[in-house]
């Protein structure tokens, strides 16, 4: 069997497709933009790259000509999506596939590192199981073991499907997604409440009709409302536009927010919808049911640090009924933004742009099953210039 020889772009694209096919099957096959986002992740990748959409598109089409990628047309859609065909060109079992994926995405690694980094794709019983699989792959000339370098105590392994990507790393500053807690949780929470109390009226005027510009959001929210069989909680409801949209689609929804000013605005603007002041990190079950049938958290995580995500999402999941849905959206990016002016008001608040892999891992760690996830670009001239992550997860 002749093995394909892949350049750096091809390795990253195929590695990303292989990874997402297993870890997030609900969004697979993937669009060009989805593949680009996966390639350019700032976590679980080495080196970090910044491929353009054109580069990714050209790479995918080149791989299609080599029969290493398939085009897939979504039913009823003109959007072409992409699926990897590398595992058809190379006969791989699940363990070998997981190892090859991580080697393509992260370069040379030790057996211990490989065991940890493949856990979402395949669970090895122990280190010796990893080494056994690597040796079997070495016999097929898929991988090889490197010599020890100075001060190393463990040999690393590399794949043999092409030269290792070098020289493509782009320098990025260390990401501090904990900066918002510099003065403690209580101070941060008070800053968030004060900010939204101050801007409540202006915020409601500015964002009250935002869904009219966001067809993807309305499509997703309409699905949630149609599938809800009981009470729905919209946490971080702000001035209530998301809750009102769900209510207009027939959902029995309650909007919850920590800002009394926002709840006051929501109550005035949508008097037929239930609203209450509350902290979604300590969300209670509905008074009329054993749990929420759905929880929407539209940008509710933007003031939480990375370390706070697991506990917050676990708390939300605990209040869902079996089969209940958690639907969340958040901004993506490698930074914490400190904002001092919002809609013409002086404020002092931090916004955390989250890593999608970290968010998805936190959802899974909460005992929820990710059924779908999406990434979209900002709506031009309407939204801030950040990409958005949407996740739908169910409580088993």
∠ Cα 340 341 345 (to 5°): 120
Q: Which pLDDT belongs to residue 151?
A: 64
Please tell me which residue, 168 or 102, carries the higher pLDDT value.
102
Closest CA to 69 of 122, 16, 121: 16
Q: Which pLDDT belongs to residue 172?
A: 40
Q: Which pLDDT belongs to residue 171?
A: 40
Evaluate whether 294 touches 220 at the Cβ level (below 8 Å): no
Q: Calculate mean pLDDT across residues 354-381.
A: 89
Work out the number of other CB atoms within 10 angstroms of the CB of residue 346: 10
Q: Calculate mean pLDDT across residues 347-364.
A: 92
Asked which of 134-138, 142-146, 332-336 is least confident by mean pLDDT, the reply is 332-336
Evaluate whether 313 touches 280 at the Cβ level (below 8 Å): no
Q: What is the pLDDT of residues 143-191, one digit of tens each?
A: 999 887 766 678 899 999 987 655 333 344 456 788 889 889 999 999 9
Q: Which pLDDT belongs to residue 170?
A: 36
Count CA atoms within 13 Å of residue 42 on its CB side.
Answer: 14
Q: Which pLDDT belongs to residue 114?
A: 94
Token digits for 347?
């404020």
Closest CA to 86 of 182, 188, 161, 197: 161
Q: Are strands 335-342 and 345-353 parallel, antiparallel or unpaired?
A: antiparallel
* pLDDT class of 59 with cuts at 50, 70, 90: very high
d(CA 39, CA 28): 15
Q: Calculate mean pLDDT across residues 186-206.
A: 96
Going along the chain from its start, the domains and CATH numbers come out as 8-159 (1.10.10.10), 179-394 (3.40.50.150)
Q: Is the pLDDT of residue 380 over 90?
A: no
Q: Which pLDDT belongs to residue 386?
A: 84
Q: What is the pLDDT of residues 238-290, one digit of tens each?
A: 999 999 999 999 999 999 999 999 999 999 999 999 999 999 999 999 999 99
Token digits for 340?
């001092």
Evaluate whether 102 touches 23 at the Cβ level (below 8 Å): no
d(CA 6, CA 160): 9
Indicate left, alpha or beta for 194 from its phi (over 0: left) and psi (-120 to 50: alpha).
alpha
Count CA atoms within 13 Å of residue 305 on its CB side.
Answer: 15
What is the average pLDDT score of the chain?
91
Please tell me which residue, 2 or 89, carries the higher pLDDT value.
89
* pLDDT class of 26 with cuts at 50, 70, 90: confident
Q: What is the pLDDT of residues 287-327, one digit of tens each?
A: 999 999 999 999 999 999 999 999 999 999 999 999 999 99
Please tell me which residue, 52 or 26, carries the higher pLDDT value.
52
Asked which of 114-123, 128-137, 198-207, 332-341 is least confident by mean pLDDT, the reply is 332-341
Q: Which pLDDT belongs to residue 58?
A: 95
Q: Which pLDDT belongs to residue 147?
A: 83
- Say what angle helices 32-39 and 8-23 make with each other, to 10 degrees: 100
d(CA 341, CA 351): 13
Q: Calculate mean pLDDT across residues 373-384.
A: 83
Work out the number of other CB atoms within 10 angstroms of the CB of residue 163: 12
3-state secondary structure the chain: CCCCCCCHHHHHHHHHHHHHHHHCHHHCCECHHHHHHHHCCCCCCCCCCCCCHHHHHHHHHHHHHCCCEEEEECCCCCCEEEEECHHHHCCCCHHHHHHHHHHHHHCCECHHHHHHHCCCCCCCCCHHHHHHHHHHHHHCCCEEECCCCCCCCCCCEEECCCCCCCCCCCCCCCCCCCHHHCCCHHHHHHHHHHHHHHHHHHHHHHHCCHHHHCHHHHHHHHHHHHHCCCCEEEECCCCCHHHHHHHHCCCCEEEEECCHHHHHHHHHHCCCCEEEECCHHHCCCCCCCCCEEEEEEECCCCCCCHHHHHHHHHHHHHCEEEEEEEEEEEEECCEEEEEEEECCEEEEEEEEEECHHHHHHHHHHCCCEEEEEEEECCCCCCCCCCCEEEEEEECC
- Strand partners for 329: 298, 390
**Residues ≥6 apart with Cβ < 8 Å to 374:** 27, 34, 216, 389, 390
Q: Is the pLDDT of residue 13 over 90?
A: yes
Percent of the chain with pLDDT over 90: 77
Evaluate whether 178 touches 325 at the Cβ level (below 8 Å): no
Q: Which pLDDT belongs to residue 168?
A: 37
* pLDDT class of 79 with cuts at 50, 70, 90: confident
């Amino acid at each position: 069997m002749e093995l394909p020889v892949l350049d750096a772009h091809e390795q990253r694209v195929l590695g990303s497709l292989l990874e997402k096919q297993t870890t997030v099957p609900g969004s697979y096959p993937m669009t060009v933009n989805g593949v680009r986002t996966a390639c350019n992740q700032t976590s679980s990748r080495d080196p970090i790259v910044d491929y353009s959409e054109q580069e990714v598109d050209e790479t995918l089409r080149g791989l299609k000509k080599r029969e290493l990628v398939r085009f897939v047309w979504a039913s009823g859609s003109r959007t072409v999506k992409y699926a990897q065909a590398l595992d058809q060109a190379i006969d791989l079992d699940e363990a070998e596939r997981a190892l090859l994926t991580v080697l393509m995405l992260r370069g040379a690694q030790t057996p211990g590192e490989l065991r940890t980094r493949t856990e979402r794709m395949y669970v090895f019983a122990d280190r010796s199981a990893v080494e056994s699989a690597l040796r079997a792959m070495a016999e097929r000339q898929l991988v090889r073991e490197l010599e020890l370098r100075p001060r190393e105590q463990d040999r690393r392994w590399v794949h043999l499907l092409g030269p290792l990507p070098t020289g493509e790393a782009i320098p990025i500053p260390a990401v501090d997604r904990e900066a918002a807690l510099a003065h403690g949780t209580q101070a941060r929470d008070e800053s968030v409440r004060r900010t939204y109390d101050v801007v409540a009226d202006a915020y409601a005027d500015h964002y009250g009709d935002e869904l009219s510009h966001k067809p993807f959001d309305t499509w997703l929210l309409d699905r949630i409302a149609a599938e809800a069989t009981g009470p729905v909680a919209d946490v971080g409801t702000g001035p209530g536009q998301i809750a009102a949209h769900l209510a207009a689609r027939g959902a029995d929804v309650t909007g919850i927010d920590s800002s009394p000013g926002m709840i006051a605005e929501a109550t005035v603007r949508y008097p037929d919808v239930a609203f209450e002041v509350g902290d979604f990190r300590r969300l209670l079950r509905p008074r009329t049911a054993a749990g929420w049938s759905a929880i929407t958290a539209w940008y509710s995580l933007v003031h939480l640090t990375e370390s706070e995500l697991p506990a917050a999402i676990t708390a939300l999941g605990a209040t869902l009924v079996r089969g209940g849905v958690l639907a969340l959206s958040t901004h993506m990016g490698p930074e914490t933004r400190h904002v001092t002016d919002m809609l013409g008001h002086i404020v002092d608040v931090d916004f955390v742009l989250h890593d999608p892999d970290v968010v998805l891992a936190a959802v899974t760690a909460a005992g929820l099953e990710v059924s779908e996830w999406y990434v979209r670009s900002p709506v031009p001239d309407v939204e801030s210039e950040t990409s958005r992550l949407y996740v739908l997860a169910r409580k088993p």
